[in-house]
Chain A
Amino acid sequence: MDAFLQLSLAPILIGVLSAIACALPGNFLILRRQALIGDAISHVVLPGIVVAFLATGVIAALPMLVGAAGAALVAVVLIETIKRVGRIEPGAAMGVVFTAMFAGGVLLLEQTDTSAVHLDVEHALMGNLESLIWFDAAGWGSLVDPAALAGLPPELPRIAVVAAVIALLTFVFWRPLKLSTFDEGFAATVGVPTRTIGLALVAASAVAAVAAFDAVGSIIVIAMFICPPAAARLMTNRLEAQVGWSIVFATVSAILGYVFAGYGPLWFGAQNAVSAAGMIAAVSGAILAVACVAAPHRRRIGAAQGQG
């Protein structure tokens, strides 16, 4: 049991919290046809983090967050400019910006000597969930022992705070969010600042992406923004229920994914664990696949019955 506490408790908690922090804004993003914003943000974060590292010379949470947020802001401004000035459709404008910024990040990374610190492209993609271990755990008593708790990986309190803030924001701004997502025109006429709400949603997604990115890599970020909310969308017609389902799916994906990655290979007689980040994404995909063929509200309203 000590082994579980030391090796698995922190990664599982971090995985679950990251998944929930991303899935919450993801619910609104998929309803607003902005699902790929999560994809774009997770690419754009890389140059921001590299620049922050170059500027400060250390891998620390605050500069990385600032750098990533700055990069996300630059990306949003660039996308808007290209859309307006060049009259280019949003998807293509997004494609131009996030690939170029990601390429810039990779180039910067290759040009700088980051061998002393844990910063490379593969780490950015896959995260290092498995390495977030809690050395100081000596038994269940450690959970209430302040000295042992201080030894928790710093990613855990960070992602916990971000997840809590996002949950709180979602709860507080529930009505304006819901209104502006479903009927922007009506929301504007009753005085909801729809543009601000839209920007705030993207900003919250960026914060969730950056905090999760640090711990679990960008694959989970993209997968958690889309798969649990999409599966939840097929389960129900009510937004409240959809958000609830998405949290359940995100949690299940994170736990099952971690367990399969860590212990799955052992069941097949193999020695080494596989990537937990990749497995979590795969499990969320499996949940979505099941929802696509069996969920109660999977079809479009008005679509012919008995097909597919």
Chain B
Amino acid sequence: MPDAILSALLFQAGYNAALVAIGSALLGIAAGAGGTFLFLRKRALISDAVAHATLPGIGLAFIAMVALGGDGRNLVGLLAGSAVSAAVGLLLVDWIVRHTRLAEDVAIGAVLSVFFGLGIVLLTVIQTMSSGRQAGLEGFLLGSTAGMLRQDALVIAVGGALALAVLVLLRRPMTLVAFDPGYAAARGVRVQAVDLAMMGLVLAVTVIGLKVVGLILIVAMLIIPPVTARLWSERTDTVVAVAGLLGGLAGYLGAAISASAPNLPTGPIIVLVSFSLFCFSLLMAPSRGVLAAAVRHRRFQRRVHRRQGLLALARNEPILDPLTLKVLRREGLIRPDKVATDAGRARAAKALRDERRWEVARRMHQDEGTSGRYDGLTSIETVLTPDEIAAIDAEIGAPRLADQGAS
């Protein structure tokens, strides 16, 4: 099986498998990058409504094509139908939010479930049609690349590339609208048009992805990569690029793995690859990751214990807390028998003196700007100038004998 995956990765598993892999990668890039704007606009779940709303369109397109005497399975026709009904669903969400008191999440849920229900009704109608038994429309629920025609793979590849091109062209106005629609409007950007373009992009990605990932899981390609990328960066351009990269990687790897063995449906595999990338990022990302948070917490804990320990040393109080003792001992501030070393005495005296300086400083500067920063951990040198500290020292008096070695 590793061989099979490798050969699929290197496009050795046949022309169609290679086309599917490239198509999925392009789709992943377009979905990841396009989904980022939706995510930044805090409307990620609207893609769920769009995706489910495609189903009745697929059914109606099939029925219409059969009624006109054509082949009901023509992919372009089915995708066109799905695009129309998804657009209707999108407009309905918008209408409900604007004209009734229902919130957006209610509108999304209502459109999603009702359109999906209608679609299922149509599917059962098609199953009873004479030409419908082999329609294979269920493949659109979870995606199926197994019996994909060369022409279908080409449609997906070209569509993914087009969506990507539109994205590159519109990235500036979409960033502006995602962060500050008011400012964008003031700058003369037509917010509604940009929003419409954003939704159009999402719709295009959804429709193109139907055959590969299926309508239930396509939202994952629009949501997971942007969320993952957001963990790694605070800059929009980087997030968009990383999301595209992650989406493309997931699409490509997922298609290759799924082609390597039977019973590995493409859509779920792509989503799970994407989710693994997300889990890795959640663990490892700087600043927002779990590990980074743990390290930060430990560092903070150690600072608090160090300060409490030093103050206790300076006031000749016994230290009982095991963690405090451990921190002080490891930094060479106390000896194993809990007696302060020279360095420890010096640091303790400094800590106590800084505490007195803060006391005076807070009396002198009663504004939030300085006194508000007293939390016991901020060193006074980072807040006040040397002159100000000297003035405070003059009020406290010179260091007494016990404070020797301080400052």
Contact = CB atoms under 8 A, between A and B. Distances in A.
Interface of A: 30, 33-36, 38-39, 43, 82, 85-89, 91-96, 99-100, 102-104, 106-107, 110-111, 121-122, 125-126, 219-220, 222-223, 225-227, 230, 233-234, 261, 265, 270-275, 277-282, 284-285, 288, 292, 297-301, 303, 307-308
B138 A275 contact: no
A222 B275 contact: no
A95 B106 contact: no
Contacts of A96: 220, 223-224, 227, 275, 278
Given A34-B105, A100-B220, A281-B113, 6 more contacts: A39-B112, A96-B224, A230-B102, A233-B102, A274-B121, A278-B124
Contact of A106 (B45, B268, B289): B268
A282 B117 contact: yes
Interface string B114-138: 1111111101110110000000001
B110 interface: yes
Contacts of A92: 39, 42, 44-45, 223, 226-227
B9 interface: no
B99 interface: yes
Interface string B266-299: 0111011011001000100100111001000000
A274 B275 contact: no
B112 A308 contact: no
A222 B113 contact: yes
Nearest to B274: A100
Given A85-B288, A261-B121, A307 B263 contact: no
B272 A95 contact: no
B117 A36 contact: no
Contacts of A272: 124, 127-128
A38 B108 CA distance: 12
Given A93-B227, A122-B138, A281-B116, A85 B109 contact: no
A123 to B, nearest CB: 12
B265 A107 contact: yes
Q: Looking at chain A's contact residues, is the secondary structure mostly helix, strand, loop, or mixed?
A: helix
Contacts of A300: 100-101
B227 A107 contact: no
Contacts, number: 219
Given A86-B282, A104-B272, A121-B142, A279 B106 contact: no
B26 interface: no
Range of interface residues on chain B?
Answer: 35 or more
Contact of B217 (A99, A122, A273, A278): A99
A96 B45 CA distance: 10
Contacts of A102: 216-217, 268
Contacts of B108: 35-36
B354 interface: no
Contacts of A261: 121
Interface in B129-179: 138, 141-142
B367 to A, nearest CB: 31
B196 interface: no
Given A226-B113, A261-B121, A308 B99 contact: yes
Contacts of A223: 110, 113-114, 117
Given A91-B45, A94-B45, A227 B110 contact: yes
B113 A88 contact: no
The residue in B44, B226, B268 that gathers the most chain A C-beta atoms within 10 A of its C-beta is B268
B231 A86 contact: yes
Nearest to A87: B288
